[in-house]
Amino acid sequence: MATLSLLPTSATSKPSSWRNHLFSPNSLQCKKKESIEISTNGQASFPEKNLLRHASKTPPPRPRRIILVRHGESEGNVDESMYTMVADPKIGLTERGKAQAIECGERIRKMIEKDGANDWKVYFYVSPYKRTLETLRNLARSFERSRIAGLREEPRLREQDFGNFQDREKMRVEKAIRMLYGRFFYRFPDGESAADVYDRITGFRETLRADIDIGRFQPPGDRNPNMNIVIVSHGLTLRVFLMRWYKWTVEQYEGLHNFGNGGMIVMEKGYGGRYSLLMHHKEEELRKFGLTEQMLIDQDWQKYARPGELNYDCPTMNSFFTHFDEKDAKFGS
C-alpha cells in the first residue's frame, strides 16, 4: 500500500519533533495531523479514524467539571434599541460586562485551585458572538497559558436567533405572544424557537460526549483527571443544554430562570462518575434557578450513579402517568 502523507517531509522523518511542533505550549492554535493511505485499488482510507479501535481498554478519566458561563452584560442588555441598528452577533460587552467576565474567571480559577491538584487545566468552548468572545478573553486573564489545554469556537452554541434586525415594539409583542404560546415551542418570525436550539444543542452534546469518551481533552501522553471544560454561551442556550443533558421535560425547562450576566452553573463529576449540579451548588441555589423537588431528587441520584446507569425510580414518571395513584388506592398500598 502506497502512502500519501499531508505532512512535511521533516515531520514524517521525525515524529517526536512533529508532535512537539503541533502541541507547542507557546500556541493555543489546535493543529491536526492528517494522512491519507491510498491502496493499490485506488481507495483511500484515513488512519485517524481508527482512533477508537486502537484506544486503551481502560476508559480515559472524565473531565472534573463542565462549567457553563453566561456572557457578561452586553450593550443589548442595557439598551434594547441596539438590536434595531446592530446585528445580534456583533453586539459586544459593556465595561461592566467585561468586569463581570474577569470576576467570573477568578471565581473559576479559585474553585479549581481549591481541589489542591497541581496538574489541572481548562478547555474552552465559546459561541462565535462578539459578546461571548469578549467574555472569554476577559475571563481567560485568570489563567496562565500553561493551564489552557485548548479552545474551540462552536457555532452550535450561538444565541437563539430572534430574526435579523429587530423592531423594538414588534419584539415586545412577539415576546408577549411567546409567553401565551409557550416559551419552548414559540418560533420568532425569521428566527428560532427554543425547540430549534434544542436540536442543534443535541448535536453539540453528542460531539462533547464523544470527545469525553475517547479522551480528546487529555494532553498528549497524559491521562489527566483534573481537566475542566468551560462553555461560554448565552442564557437560553445554556438552559437548553442542561435540559438536554439531564433529559428534563418541556415543563421543567419552562420553569427555569435565566442566571445573571457573568454567572455560571457547575456540573461536577460525582462519586460514580456522572455529573451532578449538587456536587457544587446547594439545593436552595438550584431552587432559585428553577429546579423542582423532582429534579433535585434526580440530581442527588446523579451524585452517586455511574455512566450508563438509568434512574429507574425517576419521579418524573409520575408527571406522565396518572393510573399509578388509582392502582395504589385500589390495593390499599
Domain ranges for the chain, please list them. Answer: 2-50, 65-269
The strand ranges marked E within the chain are 2-5, 35-38, 44-45, 65-70, 121-126, 148-153, 227-233, 264-269, 275-276
Q: What is the pLDDT of residue 317?
A: 59
**Looking at residue 8, what is its pLDDT?**
37
Decide which of 272 and 42 is more confident. 272
Our answer to whether residue 174 is catalytic in this structure is: no
The pLDDT score that the predictor gives to residue 13 is: 40
Residue 318 confidence (pLDDT): 63
Burial grade of 99 (CB within 10 A; 0-12, 13-18, 19 or more): middle
Residue 15 has pLDDT above 60, yes or no: no
**Can you give the pLDDT at residue 98?**
99
Which residue among the candidates 159, 174, 192, 268 is catalytic per the annotation?
Answer: 159
Q: Which residues are part of a known binding site for substrate?
A: 70-77, 131, 170
Alpha-carbon span 243 to 253, nearest angstrom: 6
Look at residues 199, 185, 191 and name the one whose alpha carbon lies nearest to residue 164: 191
Global pTM reads 0.80
- Average of per-residue pLDDT values in the chain: 84
pLDDT at 42: 55
Question: What pLDDT is stored for residue 231 in this prediction?
Answer: 99
- The residue written with cell numbers 442566571 in the block is 259
Q: Which segment of 60-69, 158-167, 230-239, 244-253 scores lowest on mean pLDDT?
A: 158-167
Grid cell digits, residue 62: 472524565
pLDDT of res. 1: 43
Query: Higher confidence at residue 171 or residue 210?
Result: 210
> Which positions make up the binding site?
70-77, 131, 170
pLDDT band at 222 (very low <50, low <70, confident <90, very high): confident
Over residues 91-113, the mean pLDDT reads 99
CATH superfamily of the domain spanning 65-269: Phosphoglycerate mutase-like (3.40.50.1240)
Residue 60 banded pLDDT, cuts 50, 70, 90: confident
Q: Residue 226's pLDDT is what?
A: 92
Q: Which residue has the higher pLDDT, 218 or 77?
A: 77
54 part of the active site: no
pLDDT given at position 165: 79
- pLDDT given for residue 313 in this prediction: 78
Of the candidates 71, 174, 192, 268, the residue annotated as catalytic is: 71
